[in-house]
Amino acid sequence: MSAYLATIPSPDRGVWHLGPIPLRAYALCIIAGIIVAIWWGERRWAARGGTKGTVIDVAVFAVPFGLVGGRLYHVITDPELYFTEGRNPWNAFAIWDGGLGIWGAIALGAVGALIACRRKGVPLPAMADAVAPGIVVAQAIGRIGNYFNQELYGAHTDLPWGLEVYQRFNPEDPDNLLNGVATGHIPLPESPVHPTFLYELLWNLLVALLVVWADRRFKLGHGRAFALYVAGYTVGRGWIEMMRTDTANHILGLRVNVWTSILLFLGAVAYFVVAGRRGPREAPELLVGKNAPGPDETPVPQDSDVTPDTVAPASGEEAGEPEHAKVAAAEAPAPEKPASEDAPAQEPKKAGDS
C-alpha cells in the first residue's frame, strides 16, 4: 500500500477537445519549449552585443526546418511504425501524436539557422552558443509531453519514484490508444516503471546549468557552448536510452539512438577542442548584423521622455523667427567694432602661438 502511494501516477489522457479542436499536451509542450528557447536566446544574444530581434528572425527559419528534420529522423529510424502491413503511411505526418527525433531536429534546424544567419550577416557559431542552453531546456519541457502521452518509459521498478502507467481505451479507434483515456486506473502489467522521460528531463536541466556556468567562466565562443551542450546531452541520452523499453531498431546489439549519441559525443568533443584554437569569443561588433541601425540612426529608447516633438530645436529656431528674418540676418554685414585710440596695434601671430 505504501509503495503504491509513493509512485508517480500518469495522467488519464494526453488530449482534450475544445469543441472540434483537439488540445494535445505533447504539442503544447513543444510550443512552450520553443518559446522559452527563443526568449532565452534573445537575452543571451543581446547580452553578447547582438541586435535584439535577431534570434526571432533566425527562429522563423530554424523552427520549421527543425520540426521537419525531427519528424524525418523518427520516421527513417522507425519505418516499421508507418510502412509495414496493417499500418497507415499517412500517420507519418501525424506529428501531433508524438515522434520527434532531436538529432534530426538539430541537424535540419541548423540548416535553417544557417540560411537565416547569412541573410542577417551574423556568424552561425555565435548564434548556436546563444541558443544552446535554451534548446536543452526546451527538450526538457518537451519530455513533459511524453509524460502525458504515457510513453518512453523503462522497465519495471520498485523504487519509490516508479511511474504508474494505466490502460487507455479509445472506443472510436481501438488501435489508437495514444488518444485514449484511462478509465478505472487499471495498471499495465509492467507498472510501475522507470520514468526515463523524467530522468532525461532532469539531466537536460543539469546540462543547461553546466553550459551557462562554463560560458560565463570561460567566455566560450565559436560554437563551443553549443558543442558542450551536445556532448553533455549525449552522455545522458546514451545511458537513459538503454533503460527504455519502447520498440527501437538495434545495430550490433545497441539501439540506434545509442550509436548516434556515441558518434555525436565524439564529434562534439573534437569540435570543442578544435574551436578553442580560434581564439577569444567573437567580438560584439560581429553580432550586429546587416540591418542594425547605424551610429546616426540610434533609436530613441521607448521608456525615455524624449520624443521627436520634444527634441530641442537648433539655434535660431527656438524663437520661431520667420524665414525672411533669418535670411536678412544672414545677409546683413557684421557691425564694425570701433577701434580704441589708445589701444596699440597688435603684431601678427607667429607660428606656434596659442
What gap in Å lies between CA 194 and CA 99, rounded to an integer? Answer: 20
**Residue 57: pLDDT above 70?**
yes
Instruction: Give me 105's grid cell.
Output: 531536429
Q: Is 236 exposed, middle or buried (0-12, 13-18, 19+ CB in 10 A)?
A: middle
Q: What are phi and psi of 49, to 5 degrees?
A: 105, 5
Helices (H), 53-154: 54-77, 80-83, 102-120, 124-149
Question: Cell 564694425, residue?
Answer: 336
**Residue 110: pLDDT above 90?**
yes
Instruction: Give me 126's grid cell.
Output: 555565435
312 vs 16 pLDDT, higher one: 16
**Residue 112: pLDDT above 70?**
yes
Residue 18: Cβ within 10 Å count: 7
Residue 301: Cβ within 10 Å count: 8
Mean pLDDT of 110-114: 97
Q: For 337-351, how does the pLDDT look when each residue is reduced to its tens digit (9 = 90+)?
A: 444 444 444 444 444
- pTM of the complete model: 0.79
Pairing state of beta strands 254-255 and 21-24?
A: unpaired
Q: For 3-18, how does the pLDDT look when each residue is reduced to its tens digit (9 = 90+)?
A: 445 789 999 999 998 9
Q: What is the mean pLDDT of the chain?
A: 83
Q: For 255-308, how does the pLDDT look when each residue is reduced to its tens digit (9 = 90+)?
A: 999 999 999 999 999 999 999 999 999 999 999 977 665 544 444 444 434 344
What gap in Å lies between CA 326 and CA 169, rounded to an integer? Answer: 87
Q: Is 292 exposed, middle or buried (0-12, 13-18, 19+ CB in 10 A)?
A: middle
Report percent pLDDT > 90 for the chain: 63
Identify the pLDDT of residue 92. Answer: 86
Phi-psi domain of 244 (left: phi exceeds 0; alpha: psi -120 through 50; beta: other): beta
Identify the pLDDT of residue 82. Answer: 87
What gap in Å lies between CA 62 and CA 131, rounded to an integer? Answer: 12
